Amino acid sequence: MASSEHVKNPGRVAAGLRASIKNPRVSDEAKAHATERLQELESQQHAGTDQSGSHGNRVLGGYKATLHNQHTSEEAKKHAREILNAAGIHEPDIDLDDQQHKNRVLAGYKAALHNPKVSEEAKQHARQYLEEHDTTSLARQGLYQLLYVH
């Protein structure tokens, strides 16, 4: 997802509001505000205007997948954008050609080589993939040693 906009999970927001209401260190004024906000949130969920929970996330994920599926009609993509926008999720219009996609895959494998959280096994897989798919580019970029120097 290229969007830097963060969408809050209504289920987690409700849990936080309930915790505030029960917390003895929270002022009465803040508890009253939390109670009002929780009631608003619950009424939205009952009205069906909110996609919360794992089912809602899966539905929205399906709409996101629709946007990136090359076999989906433009009409279906338009509908998916409308649903996602209504849910507060804004997907940029990205149509990657094959070369752009290949470049991003290669960049991901190259990044894995530098990531300290990636296992040695995964780094070896990345080295193997890069060796098979991008040896000339690696040599130009000075990354050839990463494939063979441990």
**91-103 pLDDT per residue, tens:** 665 566 677 778 8
Q: Would you state the structure tokens that stand for residue 54, as one six-digit string? A: 């794992």
The dihedral formed by the CA atoms of 83, 58, 93 and 111, expressed in degrees to the nearest 10: 160
| pLDDT-derived band at 2, boundaries 50, 70, 90 | very low
One-letter amino acid at 39 equals Q
CB atoms within 10 A of CB 112: 18
What integer pLDDT is reported at residue 147 of this predicted model?
A: 57
Q: Which of 38, 32, 40, 33 is nearest to 18 (CA)?
A: 38
pTM: 0.34
Distance CA 23, CA 83 (A): 37
What mean pLDDT comes out for the span 76-102? 77
| pLDDT-derived band at 141, boundaries 50, 70, 90 | low
Q: What is the pLDDT of residues 27-71, one digit of tens each?
A: 999 989 988 888 888 777 655 544 456 777 888 888 888 888 888
Dihedrals phi, psi of 8, to nearest 5 degrees = -80, 145
Q: Which of 41-55, 67-81, 103-117 is least confident?
A: 41-55
